[in-house]
Structure 1
């Protein structure tokens, strides 16, 4: 079991944990007040979809912050600077999501005729004055995350310097090989973040957007979730194995995913069915937009990683355990042990300590 070894690794992990506790406490209070104010239980089939807004937000916040804890632990254990930076950006995305929550809850409770949103309060489905009680906590949520984002960014800057030596020992002084390894790390980190944002969009769609959704669409969306998870693991495996055919297939899947999210965005804002999405339209739009941005960057990095195939990186990304002193040596571009390394072409170099990593990494 990994134990943080420096004050900065301890600080980063404790900040993530503290943010998780405070944010979930705020969301739990909002959830409790909201549920207590409803006129009918949220599991009633006749309950308006707006009543599912707060429970869905709470579920996503719980998963989001717990997933962030796992990512932080993995990044510190592996001394992965790229993933540490990614966690700070991820935190920024959570702040945007919590900011959208305030406007979305206001629309769900009070309604908005301009956007065809039927509120719970005008229909007497919730106690009057509920939003007034929730508003201070809805404002506090993004403020807390913003505060911790600043602190995490400062600590990440310190960790960048601390982990730089580890990368140097792993990849040596070959700048080209070091650059290829960092590009691989960026790609793997993107896969991990893609998973959360796709999951967040899918959960909101399945839970809140019920009216008018066909059974076939629900089944297809439900099946797409485990398939996507499997594809993300497969994408990491293919990159480690350096398969051109497999990488081209994965990139084609990324483009199909982009087409899916563009289709959903168009349906949410400019189609006869846009009213179905009204209760969570802003939230779904946020997730869809962030996922599209991540997919574009992921596609770019997939091409970059494919360009780096068979250039000496494979032994470094395939090894999972720290080799002993006798196992350290040089490897050629096919992964075979060699005893001489001139450091000219970057196709072979000394394999030193490689930190253990998650399966997807």
Structure 2
């Protein structure tokens, strides 16, 4: 439960908490207003599930971000802190897409008089406020991430020593672990939206999509475990599965735009949102494949003891978040010293 006690870490946590509370409150208001504005027989339309799904994914995104913020500060992971700034940008884009998709869904429901006329004017200000909140939060995150980078650099220096090659390997490992955590959210967000919003999915495809939910969680845990243990065989399996995931998301993306005219109608209520999630996930998977290969290349080169010895909480000596006692490294002593 240890978090480094400094004004910048607490400021970062506070910004994330306030953003999450305000964001979830706005989304909860829109959700409640939507449920009370629906009329009889509205459940026959896909749009009645589209809007709650958007809102649920958005609220989960805020809660998951809080978990990642705590995790990044606990581990003093500068890469994850920077990744959280980009994650906030992703949620900002999703907030803009969400407003457009909800507007389209309300238009469809309004034509059939399945929703109260006052619904859209009553929730439009909240939907406009959300991207503004995210934009301001992103600016604050970026500033605080810069301050935290300077603060955490000294801890990394003490933990890894002045060996530049070892520091690069450790940086690669940090990037890989951070990517796995962000992969989880976008994998899950895409799959849940696809399952709930897209109607008339063939049974075989629906079953595969359900299986992906469970496989993803186990797979990401194994991916983190094998890189820590420096298992080359395990990483080869992981990289092959990444390529399978790449094919899966490409198939889903093509399916949304290249299906028959009748099938495309099933994707229209969530196509913009699904497309944004699919594209971001594809980019993340590609980045993860590259970094996974780099991690595998770094196996058996002296990094494993440092990863195994890293402690997120206070060490045996009071006030020290990590043990600074370094395991013996073979080879000549490093000739250069630097602090990032």
Taking structure 1 as the reference length, the TM-score comes to 0.86
1:57-85 deviation line (CA, Å, top 9, x unaligned): 22112211111111111111111100100
Gaps of 5+ in 1: 111-118, 334-340, 347-361
1:253-306 deviation line (CA, Å, top 9, x unaligned): 111111111111111112112111111110000100100010111111011111
Tell me: CA distance 1:280–1:239, structure 2 relative to 1, closer, same or farther (3 Å).
Answer: same
Q: Which of 267, 270, 282 is matched with 1:292 structurally?
A: 282
Q: Which of 70, 75, 100 is matched with 2:67 structurally?
A: 70
Match of 1:35 in 2: 35
Tell me: CA distance 1:329–1:29, structure 2 relative to 1, closer, same or farther (3 Å).
Answer: closer
Match of 2:176 in 1: 187
Match of 2:320 in 1: none
Of 183-192 and 264-273, the range deviating more from structure 2:
264-273
Q: Which of 258, 275, 284 is matched with 2:265 structurally?
A: 275
Match of 1:241 in 2: 229
Shift, 1:171, TM fit: 0.4
Distance in 1 between the 2:88 and 2:38 partners? 31
Distance in 2 between the 1:167 and 1:94 partners? 29
Matches within 5 A, 1:1-361: 1-40=1-40, 46-110=43-107, 119-209=108-198, 211-272=199-260, 273-321=263-311, 324=316, 328-332=325-329, 342-344=332-334
> Contact 1:37–1:126 at 8 Å: present in 2 too?
yes
1:193-249 deviation line (CA, Å, top 9, x unaligned): 00000000011111111x211233222211111111111110111111212222111
Distance in 1 between the 2:90 and 2:79 partners? 17
Distance in 2 between the 1:271 and 1:327 partners? 58
Tell me: CA distance 1:327–1:169, structure 2 relative to 1, closer, same or farther (3 Å).
Answer: closer
Hey, which bits of structure 1, 4+ residues long, moved more than 3 A? 320-327
Higher relative contact order (CA 8 A, sep 6+): 2
Distance in 1 between the 2:328 and 2:180 partners? 28
> Contact 1:81–1:160 at 8 Å: present in 2 too?
yes
1:73-123 deviation line (CA, Å, top 9, x unaligned): 11111111001001111111000011100110111111xxxxxxxx11111
> Contact 2:169–2:295 at 8 Å: present in 1 too?
yes
Shift, 1:128, TM fit: 2.0
User: Per the alignment, in what secondary structure is the counterpart of residue 330 of structure 1?
Assistant: coil
User: Per the alignment, in what secondary structure is the counterpart of residue 299 of structure 2?
Assistant: coil
Shift, 1:47, TM fit: 2.6
Tell me: CA distance 1:323–1:134, structure 2 relative to 1, closer, same or farther (3 Å).
Answer: closer
Distance in 2 between the 1:142 and 1:324 partners? 45
User: Per the alignment, in what secondary structure is the counterpart of residue 162 of structure 2?
Assistant: coil
Taking structure 2 as the reference length, the TM-score comes to 0.91
User: Per the alignment, in what secondary structure is the counterpart of residue 247 of structure 1?
Assistant: helix
> Contact 2:51–2:105 at 8 Å: present in 1 too?
no
Distance in 1 between the 2:301 and 2:52 partners? 49
Tell me: CA distance 1:314–1:225, structure 2 relative to 1, closer, same or farther (3 Å).
Answer: same
Distance in 2 between the 1:53 and 1:144 partners? 23
